[in-house]
Amino acid sequence: MKKAILAVLSVAVLLAIMIVPAVAGKSWFGGTKEQQPEEGTGSPPPSWDTQDGGDLPENTPEIPGDTEDIQLPWADAEGAGEISVSSMTSSAASLTANTGTASVITMNSSNSKVEIEKPGTYIITGYCQNGNIKVKKGIPGVVLILRDLTLTSTEGAAVSCGKQSVVKIVIEGNVTLCDAEDPDDEYSSDSEIADAFDGAAIKVRDGADVCITGDGTLTIDAASCKNGIKSGDDPSTVLVIDGDLTINISADNDAINAAYDLSILSGTLNITAGDDAIHADRILTVGSYTGEGPEISIERCTEGLEGAVVDLFGGKGTINATDDALNATDKNKVYSGELTVAINITGGEWTIYSRGDGLDSNGDINITGGNTEINSSYNGGEAGIDYEGSFYVADGTLNNNGGISFDSGTGGMPGNGMGPGGNRPDGGGSPGGGGQGGDGGNFPGDGGNFPGDSGNKPGERPGGSGGGFPGGGPGNPGGGSGGPGGGQPVPPGGQNADSGFSPDPDM
């Protein structure tokens, strides 16, 4: 059970803590080096020694631009939890269009079905009220240039990429794709009808490698059916969005739903969704290690960005959510054994408005850069920040206009208390803390009443003189002497007069 701290900050809590020195031999890709398979036994996420700043190994995912002097944003984050990063790479992204030999196809009522059965470049344009484009199974090297195309499909996805196909979708001009399938078909007693249901305007089937790019505007209408873009759950499935394009999506369910990993590296996305705005079952990556990234505007959704791991490396976003804005969860416990469930923010500017939790992690929260502002309710167990593992903040700014909810047996914020006992997970904060309370701490308190009384509750985060967090009396069962924590004291906050949800007034 989670325990809510019954204190609400009436002003933004500003946390700006410098990154502490690196720990040699630590892998921030999820798991220590000892947990990585030996060479030749599989394709594990890359790892390296961070002692010298984290040199990139040969199998690191490709990073756009000059990477010679790149310092990975978490390389020196000693107190952070394990940070899992997708090792997904796209062969489709490197495909080059050959417009000189391209096949030009105009879609209309008499030419409504387009099937791609061999590699090559295809320029597709026109207006069609009931048709679709299908790249057949196992076809590599396909470049689809969608140029000023309006396409509606009542039978399957408007664009579908078959299993094990490799497809680069290039958006030029104004392109509109509409999924007009009957949503009841998904549950039809006729297996042929149910199997033909795609529930998305763009469908990426299992094992396909698809990159969506270009410099045009893609409008996806899935408001009467289900998802805007949907990809399969095979581990070899690749879905990447990268380019100067603008994508506008309205969806009845999820705007973008990846059943494995999803990377959104650049572009502009404007989203309205009935459920998740952007979802990946495993790892959701937003932006690149350089700190660059997309601009994401989510006008309405239930949950905003969701995955077992949510990595925000760069970009800019505003999220209006009726539930959790950022949500790290492995709902079916499929990936928890191979990665650390977490929200990891290393860069970008993120503004959150939520009726539920602003940041909700069933594991850790690591913030080592960027600017994050949370505006959320604090009632009924919902809070600005909600986590079950550990909460680490270093370089970067966090403005939390909500409360904090956490599991009682975990490590916490870096504090400035010192003393015996209290090591994570049974007592103090991360990396130090516990023992006798320090002066000030990171959260307001008053004489040790936040949340305990002089450390008499085993495994809690007791307060100390001046309300330190972690601070307090000896942890139980302890675990060594707590080192000095990081962080700056923050002035006490009063009661929040308005804990209700207020959406972005500009949206």
- Cα separation of 137 and 167, whole Å? 11
Q: Give mean pLDDT, residues 290-300.
A: 96
- Segment among 76-90, 152-166, 344-358, 395-409 with least mean pLDDT: 395-409
E-assigned strands of 66-173? 103-107, 113-116, 120-128, 132-135, 142-153, 159-161, 166-172
Question: Is the confidence at residue 311, as pLDDT, over 90?
Answer: yes
Q: Give mean pLDDT, residues 449-476.
A: 35
Question: Is the confidence at residue 19, as pLDDT, over 70?
Answer: no
Question: Could you tell me which residues come within 8 angstroms of residue 34 by beta carbon, excluding any fewer than 6 positions away?
Answer: none
**Cα 166 → chain centroid:** 25
Question: Is the confidence at residue 442, as pLDDT, over 70?
Answer: no
49-93: per-residue pLDDT in tens? 222 333 333 333 343 333 333 445 655 556 677 889 999 999 999
- Cα separation of 77 and 118, whole Å? 48
Question: Is the confidence at residue 302, as pLDDT, over 60?
Answer: yes
Beta bridge partners of residue 375, listed in sequence order: 353
Q: Give mean pLDDT, residues 339-343.
A: 95
| Three-state secondary structure of 46-88 | CCCCCCCCCCCCCCCCCCCCCCCCCCCCCCCCCCCCCCCCCCC
Per-residue pLDDT at 81? 75
Higher-pLDDT residue of 369 and 455 is: 369
Higher-pLDDT residue of 479 and 297 is: 297
In this structure, is the dihedral angle defined by the CA atoms of residues 47, 50, 54 and 58, taken in order, positive or negative?
negative
Per-residue pLDDT at 383? 76
Question: Is the confidence at residue 25, as pLDDT, over 70?
Answer: no
Domain boundaries, the chain: 103-239
Q: What mean pLDDT is reported for the chain? A: 74
- Tokens found for residue 173: 């001009």
131-166: per-residue pLDDT in tens? 999 999 999 999 999 999 999 999 999 999 999 999
